[in-house]
Amino acid sequence: MAASPRRCALSASSLKACRTMPEARLAASGSVRIIGRMSGWIIVSAVLVGLAAALFLLNLSRQVPPAGWPVLLAGAGDLRAIMARDGLAPRFCAGLLGGGALGLASVVLQQVLRNPLAEPGTLGIFAGAKCAIAASIIWAPGLLALGWDLPALAGGIGVAAIVLLLSARSDFAPTTVTLIGLIASLAFGALGTMLVLTHFDALSDLYIWEAGSLIQNGWGTVLALALKLGLVSLAILLLMRPLSAMQIEGAEQLGVRTSLVRGATILAAVGLSALVASTVGLISFLGLASAAIARGAGARRLPARLVAAPLIAAGLLALTDQALLALAGGIEIPAGITVMLLSVPLLLWMLQRAPAGTSALAMAAEPMRLQLGTASAFIGLGAALVVSFALAATFGPGPDGWQFAQGVLFAELSIWRLPRITAACCAGAMLAMAGSLLQRLTRNEMASPELLGISSGTALMLLVATLFLPGLDRYGTAALSCLACLAILACVLWLGRRSAFAPDHLLLIGAGLGALLASLLSILLVIGDPRILRVIGWLSGSTYSVDAAEARAIALATASALLLPLPLLRWIGLMQLGEPVGRSLGVPIAGARLAVVLVVAVLTGVATLFVGPLSFVGLMAPHLARLLGIRTALAEIYGSALVGAVLMILADWAGRTIAFPWQIPAGLIATGLGGAYFIVASWKR
C-alpha cells in the first residue's frame, strides 16, 4: 500500500528534526555554559555587594532608626545623625571606591605583564608610597598642601619602575616580577620604618594609615577620590582595545604600539593604587584576591574581568569593613589588615597551582669572583672582624663629638656596648651559616632564612610567648622559637610540593607567610596592647636589651653551632650533585634534608631571638664569601659566618651612630643593605 502524502511529509519532517536534534542540544548546552560563565561572576559580585549594603543598612539603623533616615537627607539631626551621615555613609562609599580601584588596577597589571600574581602590593607600589609620604612629612611638608596624592604617586611609580626594570630581562616572568616586588617591599618598608623610628612624633599617624583605615570625616575626601578615580578609569577603558590586541602574536605589525600601551597602562594602574593608598591607606592583596575570584567565577575575557574584579573587590572591602563595624564592639580594626589576612592564603593557593618555571633568579649565573684564594680570604675576613669589633667598641659620637673611647670612658661604655656587639656578631654568624646551608640544600643562591619564612616563625612564637606565656624566660622562648622555625619551614616545603619544590615558589610562599605575620602584628598595634611594644622593638632587629649574661649565652650557643655542620658535610657535598647521584652514593636523601633543616632551624631560631627577623645577612653573606673565591662547602659555611659577623657588627654600629642620639635597629640597617644588594645582584643577572 502506498504511503499517503501526509505520512510522507510527517516522516520527512520527523527525519529532519531527528537530524537537527543533536545540533540543537549542542547549541543549547553551549548556551547554558556561556550563560553560566556570564552569570557566575555576576552572581558573586551581586552577593558581595548586596551583603555589604545589607550590613551598611544594619549599622546605619543602629545609629539612626529607619524612621529618622529622611532627616539625614535633609542635612539636620543630632550628633548620631551627623555621625551616620558624615562618617558611616562616606566610609561605605570609600570602601566601594577603594576596592573597585584596586581590583581594576590588578586586572590591568596582570593583563599588561601577563602575570597572574601581579597586583599593587606584590609590585612594591604601596611600600614606595609609604616612604615618599613619610619623607614628605619630614623634609618637604609643603608638598602635602594639596593632599598626599603627589608624593604617594611619585613613590609608587619609582618603586614600580625599579621592579619592572629588573624584571625586563626575564621577559616579566610571573614569579620573577613578584619576587622582586616583594623584596622591594621589604627593603623600602625597612626604610619607612627607619623614618618612623627616628621621627616618631611626626609620623605617628602613619600607623593607622598603613593599616588601611576607611574612617571618614565628611564627603569631601570621598567626592575628590571619586573624581580622580573616574578620570584614571576612563583612561584605562580607552586603552582596553589595544590591551586586548597585545595578546595577539605580532601585535606590533597590526599597528599596536605595545611599549607605549604598556607604559601608559602601568602608569594608570600605579595612579589608581597611589590614589587609594593616599586616601585610605595600604590595602595589599585585595586586587589579587578579586582578580582570582573573577577568573574562577567565569570572567575569562578582558572586558568581563575589567567589570568583575572591581565589583568583587569593592564588595570584599566594603563587606569586610562593615562586618568589622558590626562585630568589633566599638574597637576600630582597620579593614586593610583583615583583607590581607584573607588574601594571603589565596596567594599561597595560587602559587601551588601556578606552573613552576625557571626564573632568572633561581638559575642566576655565578658572580665574578675576586679570586683571593681561600687562605687569603680567611685572613682578610679575620682581620676585618677584629677591626670592626674594635671600631664598634671604641669609636662613636658623644657629647664632645666623635672620639675613641679610652681608659675610664671605655670601661664605662663597654658595659653597654660589648654585650650588644657580641650579640650582633654571633647572630650574624649563625644567620650566615643558615643561609649558606639553605642555598646549598636548595641549590638556589637566592634562598635565605628570612625569605623562606623561618624568621617569621620565630617572631610569631615570641608574640605568643609575650601575650600568653609571660613567665617564660628567654631560654624557654628560644627553645619554642626553634620548634616554630621547624614548623614554618615544614609548612613552606609542604605548600611547595606541588611545584616540585621550585626555589622561586618556595621564596614567594615564605614571603607570603611573612606578610601574614605582619598583618597579625598590625592588628595588635592598632588595638594598642601595651605588651606589643616589646615585640615591635624586637621585630626591628634591636640589640638594645641584650645584657652581659645573654651575650655570654649567645656566644656559647654560637661556639656550639660552629660544630653542627661538620657531620653533614659529606651529605651536603653529594646532594649538590643531584638526588639520583646522591642516592646512588648512599646518601639518605630524606634524612639528610631533615638534618640540614633541623640545623638551619636551630641557627635561625637562636639568632633571630636576639636580633629580630628583619635581616638579609643570610642572603648576602654566602654571596660575598663566594665573591672572595671561597668555594668548598666547609670553607663557604665558615667564611659566610665571618662575613655575617662583620656585617651585623657594622650594622649595629651604624644604627648607634648615624642618627645619634637616636638609635636605628641593626636589623633595619641590614634589611636596607640587603634589599639594595638584592636589587644590584638582580640587575647584574
Total Cβ atoms within 10 A of residue 37: 16
Q: Is 359 part of any domain?
A: no
Q: Which of the pair, 90 or 601, is modelled with greater confidence? A: 90
pLDDT score, position 429: 92
E strand spans, 328-426:
395-398, 401-404
pLDDT score, position 351: 59
- Report in angstroms the alpha-carbon separations of 324 from 330, 331, 488: 9, 9, 29
Quote the distance between the C-alpha of residue 34 and its chain's center. 37
d(CA 628, CA 621): 11
How does residue 3 score in pLDDT terms, banded at 50, 70 and 90?
very low
In a 13 Å sphere around the CA of 513, the CA atoms on its Cβ side amount to 29
Whether pLDDT at 85 is above 70 = yes
Length of the chain: 685
Total Cβ atoms within 10 A of residue 658: 14
User: In this structure, what CATH number is given to the domain that contains residue 647?
Assistant: 1.10.3470.10
Specify whether 276 is located in the same domain as 232.
yes
Q: Which of the pair, 539 or 55, is modelled with greater confidence? A: 55
C-alpha cell at 539: 621585630
d(CA 176, CA 154): 24
Domain boundary residue, one of 353, 387, 405: 353
C-alpha cell at 502: 621550585
Whether pLDDT at 526 is above 50 = yes
Whether pLDDT at 301 is above 70 = yes
Q: Is 306 part of any domain?
A: yes
Specify whether 337 is located in the same domain as 386.
no
C-alpha cell at 270: 600605579
C-alpha cell at 185: 617591599
Return the C-alpha torsion angle 327, 331, 332, 334, nearest 10: -60
Q: Label each residue of 234-267 as H, E or C.
A: HHHHHCHHHHHHCCCCCCHHHCCCHHHHHHHHHH
Specify whether 325 is located in the same domain as 452.
no
Picking from 644, 569, 631, the residue whose alpha carbon sits closest to that of residue 366 is 631
Q: Is 587 part of any domain?
A: yes
Whether pLDDT at 378 is above 90 = no
Whether pLDDT at 107 is above 50 = yes
Specify whether 319 is located in the same domain as 463.
no
Specify whether 178 is located in the same domain as 305.
yes
How does residue 99 score in pLDDT terms, banded at 50, 70 and 90?
very high
List residues bridging with 404 in a β-sheet. Answer: 395
Q: Is 79 part of any domain?
A: yes
Cis preceding linkage at 567, omega within 30:
no
Q: Which of the pair, 81 or 12, is modelled with greater confidence? A: 81
Domain boundaries, position 547? 377-684
Specify whether 318 is located in the same domain as 392.
no
How does residue 23 score in pLDDT terms, banded at 50, 70 and 90?
very low
Specify whether 284 is located in the same domain as 178.
yes
pTM, full prediction: 0.68
d(CA 46, CA 38): 13
pLDDT score, position 369: 41
Average pLDDT of every residue of the chain? 75
C-alpha cell at 669: 640597617
Of all residues in the chain, the percent with pLDDT exceeding 90 is: 9
Specify whether 323 is located in the same domain as 381.
no
pLDDT score, position 476: 73
How does residue 56 score in pLDDT terms, banded at 50, 70 and 90?
very high
Q: Is 13 part of any domain?
A: no
Whether pLDDT at 363 is above 60 = no
Q: Which of the pair, 514 or 251, is modelled with greater confidence? A: 514
d(CA 388, CA 424): 12
DSSP string, 302-353: HHHHHHHHHHHHHHHHHHHHHHHHHHSTT----HHHHHHHHHHHHHHHHHHH
Q: Is 4 part of any domain?
A: no
pLDDT score, position 376: 83
Q: Sign of dihedral through CA atoms 37, 38, 44, 47?
A: negative
Whether pLDDT at 390 is above 60 = yes
Picking from 600, 589, 564, the residue whose alpha carbon sits closest to that of residue 489 is 600
Q: Which of the pair, 243 or 435, is modelled with greater confidence? A: 435
Report pLDDT digits (tens) over 131-170.
Answer: 888 888 888 888 887 778 788 888 888 888 888 888 777 6
> Of 196-210, 351-365, 405-419, where does the model show the most confidence?
405-419
Return the C-alpha torsion angle 116, 122, 125, 127, nearest 10: 170
Domain boundary residue, one of 300, 318, 353: 353
Whether pLDDT at 592 is above 60 = yes
d(CA 616, CA 341): 25
Q: Which of the pair, 531 or 68, is modelled with greater confidence? A: 68
The one-letter amino acid at 549: A
Q: Is 550 part of any domain?
A: yes
Report pLDDT digits (tens) over 169-195.
Answer: 766 666 667 667 777 777 787 777 777
pLDDT score, position 523: 62
Specify whether 290 is located in the same domain as 417.
no
pLDDT score, position 221: 87
Structural domains counted in the chain: 2
d(CA 295, CA 298): 5
- Report in angstroms the alpha-carbon separations of 576 from 159, 565, 571: 36, 15, 9
Specify whether 296 is located in the same domain as 406.
no
List residues bridging with 398 in a β-sheet. Answer: 401
Specify whether 603 is located in the same domain as 680.
yes
Picking from 212, 297, 229, 236, the residue whose alpha carbon sits closest to that of residue 109 is 236
Total Cβ atoms within 10 A of residue 143: 18
Question: 131 near 194, Cβ under 8 Å?
Answer: no
Specify whether 128 is located in the same domain as 196.
yes
Report pLDDT digits (tens) over 636-670.
Answer: 889 999 999 998 888 888 878 876 766 777 766 77
Burial classification of residue 637, based on how many CB atoms lie within 10 Å of its CB (0-12 exposed, 13-18 middle, 19 or more buried): buried
